[in-house]
Amino acid sequence: MDTIPLNTAKKHEFSSSGRLLMLQSLVPVATNLISSQLEAFSSRLTDALFKVSDQTVQPEEAAKSFGAYQLLKRNPSTFYRLLASQISAILTKEVSIINTRRKYTETHDAKDFSLVTFEEMENKVLSNNLIKALEVNNAEKLVELNSRIGLALNRTPISVSQNPFRPEVFVNAVVQSWQEFESVQETPRLILSLMQPDLFLQLGTVYQGLNDALHERGVVVDTDAVKRENKKRHTPVSDRKHESGDPYLENKLRSIFSANAQKIGQTGQGAPVRNAAGEAGSGQSMSWSGSSLAGQGEEGMAAAPEMVMIDRHFFDYLTGLQKQLFQNQPADDRTYLRRLSQEAPAAELTHIDQNTIELLARIFDYVFNDPSIPEEIKSLIGQLQIPTLKVALLDKDFFFKESHPARVLIDTLAKSSVSLGQDASNEDPLYQMIEGIVDRVQQDFDQQIELFSNVVADLEAFLKEEEQQAEQAISEPVAQALQQEKMRLAREFAENDVAIRVETGEVAGFLEEFLRNQWIRILTIAHNVKEEKPNALENALRTMDDLIWSLKPKNSPEERKELVSKLPAMLTLLNAWLNAIKWDEPERVLFFSKLAERHAAIARAPLEFSPRRQLEIAVNIAQRASEKKLNRQVSDQSEQLPDPWLPVLEKMERGIWLDFMSSSGVINRFKLAWVSPKRTRYIFTNRKGYDSFSISSEELLAQLRTGDAVEVSASSIVDRALVEALRDPPA
């Protein structure tokens, strides 16, 4: 079995001073990368200024641009020096205040615009346009740099506004340098008006250099995840508006919440409702407005109303029940919603209210029946039934949008609890975090839906911190697994090196056995160290080729003479390589005995083979070559038989959970913490990164096939619950 337990690496964190020193060390990196571009940048700016002076129809602008052109053309080194110095100074300042970024930003932005001149405002607009364009053009590398700096500071990924190397810094440095370079006040506006990303400093090179520098300093991030996050951030909002995306389910939901059959809100005094942003609505009637429901549905289907009334008394009844349940903290009761539809005053339940309660009760039933969620967490999630009902009554987007805050909370609670397994303990920090979130929602939620976003952010920050600690804990196992994968790939290359030579049919039987059993080990080592010692691989391949050549028939005296002259050096190298792999068995003596016999026979052979003998040798070689190739084709075809579990393995990503069954029948849950670059090795750990083990792709595939490893579903539980609930929708 190719399952290898690994020791957990020691946790390592940068000290506060170490983090600051690391960021300070990036300032000369960025300054040097900018300095290497200054000549080309100055040339582009000079050409642009001359073009304006030559083409503009305004004499004053032509004079200013021509004067700036002449000044820059005559004194480029002065501009270089000013700009390099300004960039170094401003970057040093930015790095020094990164730990107080919020305070700095607030005081920096608190400017009295009543004292700003029109020229200053115009410069600000031009500067902002350039900054935004640079941020978009370098978005991917900027997001990666944000992640690396956040990791170096032991924070979540910072925003662009907190990045000390953001485009704004370089734009301001250029403007300030030009102001020092030339005292004419109107010229900075002229310079900014010319600036476009292709004319400006090439910041992509700078950000790549900074990312590489942090990588070399041990700040490693998942670049694929960064690209996915960047793509998600730049997806147009219109494309994400309806996230459920299933027209069939959406039509079912529309029909369930259609109020055309019954107009609601016959009785009771209304109360204002807050929207998803927490803003109070106007008017006296309680209402919800859902953009998903507004407008005309499919042809032949009545459109849902843009606003549905909610009875004030019923909502107050729910609020009272929520407070009562929080204060009394009753024993595990998962039937609140079922009882509510029976016990609530009949006059206060509308058609839509009843459908909402029934649909939500089915969703919670599905959650309670999910075997992957610990029972203790199901009890906590059950305490969210009344607050979630209030949300669903206020905002029907809960059913339509995956990104609805309350829906995200239930999904995140369910997904995070998977890591606890069935042995969840109230002493576990994650359990305590979930319990605190549930208590907060029960106690504080009234109509402010943004509360759900806040608690989700807190939970995600907690999980992010745990994940970072786990990544540090597996640093040593990852290094071991990378070495194992490197050795495995080296072995595959070595096997291929031998195979292509054996398939020619010219390799003697005893030599073929030697190459496949012993020389492959030598070639594996040579391939493994070829980056550090490229001559080793070249030497091993040449020695193998010389050995094969030495046993081929020699048809002329010249070839036999060449053999005799090469043998001593070849045998010396051969013995040196075999000593390196410590092959000291009796088989080594036998091999060299056979080798000596063959060499002697070749040397004593007739001076020239007859044409018939040469033909026989050629036919035998061709026949052996054909057999070797045919055998390899058959072997390759058998290995290429479709395996239905292979796509499952290939789609596995970091973060998923699997239940592994031990030989004694005990089920243990582990997270896929790391996948090797070639997907040949997988590392699984518990939630905190301990009890890690490394497993090969073949072994994991075998366990998936036999059912000894089963993936725990990680898809949105509310999505799955909604699909199941709508199989038989409420009337």
Q: Is the pTM of this model over 0.75?
A: no
Task: Give backbone dihedrals phi and psi of 38, rounded to 5 degrees, phi first.
Answer: -65, -35
Question: What pLDDT score does 229 carry?
Answer: 54
Question: How far apart, in whole angstroms, are the C-alpha atoms of residue 112 and residue 106?
Answer: 13
The structure tokens 């194992």 sit at 484
In contact, 573 and 555? CB cutoff 8 Å: no
Whole-angstrom CA distances from 718 to 24, 407, 578, 657 are 46, 7, 63, 19
Question: What pLDDT score does 522 carry?
Answer: 93
Question: What pLDDT score does 346 carry?
Answer: 60
Sequence-separated (6 or more) residues with CB below 8 Å from residue 366: 717, 720, 721, 724, 725
Q: Is residue 360 part of a domain?
A: yes
Residues 555 and 701 in one domain: no
Rounded to the nearest 10 degrees, the angle between the axes of helix 312-328 and helix 429-444 is: 140
Count of alpha carbons within 13 Å of 134, Cβ hemisphere only?
27
Q: Is residue 8 part of a domain?
A: no
List the one residue out of 577, 529, 524, 571 whose CA is nearest residue 546: 571
What amino acid occupies position 194? L
Question: What pLDDT score does 157 carry?
Answer: 65
Number of domains in the chain: 4
Residues 113 and 221 in one domain: yes
Q: Is residue 95 part of a domain?
A: yes
As to burial, measured by CB atoms within 10 angstroms (0-12 exposed, 13-18 middle, 19+ buried), residue 30 is: buried
Determine which helix (DSSP H) or strand (DSSP E) holds 538, and give its type and residue range. helix 534-550
Residues 409 and 514 in one domain: no
Q: Is residue 352 part of a domain?
A: yes
As to burial, measured by CB atoms within 10 angstroms (0-12 exposed, 13-18 middle, 19+ buried), residue 237 is: exposed
Using CA atoms of 637, 642, 645, 647 in order, give the dihedral in degrees to the nearest 10. 100
Q: Is residue 5 part of a domain?
A: no
Residues 595 and 709 in one domain: no
Residues 611 and 506 in one domain: yes
Question: How far apart, in whole angstroms, are the C-alpha atoms of residue 223 and residue 303?
Answer: 45
Residues 394 and 522 in one domain: no
Which 8-state DSSP code applies to residue 158?
A: P
- For CA atoms 62, 65, 66, 67, the dihedral sign is positive
Q: Is residue 288 part of a domain?
A: no
In terms of C-beta distances under 8 Å and separation of at least 24 residues, what long-range contacts does 31-34 make, across chains too?
31/84, 31/87, 31/88, 31/91, 33/205, 33/206, 33/209, 34/83, 34/84, 34/87, 34/170, 34/201, 34/206
Question: What pLDDT score does 543 carry?
Answer: 92
> In 273-350, where does DSSP find H-type helix?
312-328, 336-343
Question: How far apart, in whole angstroms, are the C-alpha atoms of residue 524 and residue 522?
Answer: 5
Q: What is the DSSP string of 568-629?
A: HHHHHHHHHHHHHTT--SHHHHHHHHHHHHHHHHHHHS-SS--HHHHHHHHHHHHHHHHHHH
List the one residue out of 518, 694, 661 whose CA is nearest residue 595: 518
Question: How far apart, in whole angstroms, are the C-alpha atoms of residue 389 and residue 398?
Answer: 10
- For CA atoms 272, 277, 279, 282, the dihedral sign is negative
CATH at 680 = 2.30.30
Q: Tell me the residue range of the domain where 624 lies.
A: 478-639
Residues of the chain with pLDDT under 50: 1-13, 100-116, 232-244, 259-308
Residues 329 and 454 in one domain: yes
Question: How far apart, in whole angstroms, are the C-alpha atoms of residue 386 and residue 442?
Answer: 8
In contact, 42 and 80? CB cutoff 8 Å: yes
Residues 626 and 652 in one domain: no
In the chain, the percentage of residues whose pLDDT exceeds 90 is 10
Of 468, 496, 524, which residue is a domain's last?
Answer: 468
Whole-angstrom CA distances from 329 to 334, 420, 611 are 13, 23, 101
- For CA atoms 410, 416, 422, 423, the dihedral sign is negative
Of 236, 262, 279, which residue is a domain's last?
Answer: 236
Of 216, 236, 256, which residue is a domain's last?
Answer: 236
Residues 563 and 507 in one domain: yes
In total, the chain counts a number of residues equal to: 731
Sequence-separated (6 or more) residues with CB below 8 Å from residue 51: none
Q: Is residue 731 part of a domain?
A: no
Residues 654 and 533 in one domain: no
In contact, 402 and 243? CB cutoff 8 Å: yes
Residues 491 and 462 in one domain: no
Whole-angstrom CA distances from 249 to 246, 302, 402, 539 are 6, 16, 13, 66
Nearest-5° Cα angle at 534, 498 to 476 = 95
Q: Is residue 60 part of a domain?
A: yes
Using CA atoms of 155, 161, 163, 165 in order, give the dihedral in degrees to the nearest 10. 180
Residues 651 and 623 in one domain: no
- For CA atoms 372, 376, 379, 384, the dihedral sign is negative
Question: What pLDDT score does 155 carry?
Answer: 66
Q: Decide the pairing of beta strands 693-696 and 3-5.
A: antiparallel
Question: How far apart, in whole angstroms, are the C-alpha atoms of residue 177 and residue 80?
Answer: 9
